[in-house]
């Protein structure tokens, strides 16, 4: 069984380091992931119904949410001595 160290938590996400992994990962609570999935489904429905403006607004909200998670991840890794595992 893997051991996990929680490095930081913000809202419904945590930065978690599994012992067998080189880099920490982002843990997203199940209900938060379900809300995100619902937002993506709604965005697709709007686009398929030719409501491009509404679909775009939803996409922008999703992008900002994920951007915030990635920024939290990057800051947490830098503050805890880890390299960022992707190009910034």
Closest CA to 21 of 10, 5, 33: 5
The structure tokens listed for 6 are 């929680």
Compute CA distances 83 → 7, 38, 67, whole Å: 14, 33, 18
pLDDT of 75 strictly over 80:
yes
Q: How is the chain split into domains, by residue range?
A: 4-79
pLDDT of 1 strictly over 80:
no
Phi and psi at residue 27, in whole multiples of 5°?
A: -100, 120
Q: How confident is the model at residue 88 (pLDDT cuts 50, 70, 90)?
A: confident
Say what the pTM is. Answer: 0.90
């Amino acid at each position: 069984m893997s051991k996990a160290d929680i490095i930081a938590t913000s809202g419904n996400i945590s930065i978690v380091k599994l012992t067998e992994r080189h880099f920490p990962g982002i843990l997203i609570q199940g209900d938060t992931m379900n809300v995100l999935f619902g937002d993506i489904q709604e965005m697709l429905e709007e686009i398929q119904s030719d409501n491009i403006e509404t679909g775009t607004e939803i996409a922008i909200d999703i992008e900002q949410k994920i951007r915030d998670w990635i920024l939290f991840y990057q800051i947490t890794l830098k503050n805890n001595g880890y390299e960022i595992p992707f190009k910034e």
